[in-house]
Amino acid sequence: MDFELRTLVIFRIMPQIIPTLLCSTFEEFSTQVKQVEPLFSYAQIDVMDGKFVPSVSFSDVNQIAALSTSLKYELHLMVADPIAEIQKWKSIPNIFRAIFHMESSCDPTSAITAICELGWEVGIALNPDTPLTLAGAFYDLVDVVLFMTVNPGKQGQKFIPEVGEKIAQFTGLTSRPKCAVDGGINKYNIAQVTNYGAELLYVGSALMKSGGTMEEAYRELQEKMTKAALRIS
């Protein structure tokens, strides 16, 4: 394979790695932001309310708003009431997208409308056991469909490979939003996840708790992802 063709193949199917920020304190949050800034253009903030999931994440909007950063933020709303939650975050200028769960208590159309009114992109998330058919009616209204490959609530959980069949079904559609995968992605399974055809891969523990530097962990993930992308082309 010559260089030009090889470059084209990577451009077409290479997923993008997105770091996830799941923190319990402002100190932890600010430290992770500083680690992420040199390598990424945006990060996902995991927002957990202790109701939709058992855990509560750090989500002091005033402190986050006051933190100077070049990063853009995306919100992953693991909360019972996404519409109420986004009102807390609307004053932060570098938020560009919010993803809410189809399993939450709110009407999906109302949540989509509320997010769009803030000028943000919209994503919908599906837990591992949630059927794909639940999201089908909203494909034309959202930018991203996020497939959870763990049960949401904490980092470091074991990857659930059975979700791959659902993801492959989605990526096989001729017209669809972007496909995203979140949960338990690491250097051992990122090649497998790349084969699903997703555009966005969300990574937490494999970057934040790799045992080495974040740059080293990121480069290793990229290398394994690139090799997988070339093999399936």
Active-site residue list: 46, 182
CA 58/CA 26 separation, integer angstroms: 7
Residues 111 and 82 sit within 8 Å (Cβ to Cβ): yes
Q: What is the DSSP code string of 63-127? A: HHHHS--S-EEEEEEESS-HHHHHHHHTT-TTEEEEEEETTSSS-HHHHHHHHHHTT-EEEEEE-
| Structure-token pair, residue 110 | 């109302």
Which amino acid does the sequence have at 134? Answer: L
Report which of 80, 71, 125 is spatially closest to residue 98, judged by C-alpha positions: 125
| Structure-token pair, residue 100 | 């809410």
Residues 46 and 73 sit within 8 Å (Cβ to Cβ): no
CA angle, corner 201, sides to 124 and 65, nearest 5? 70
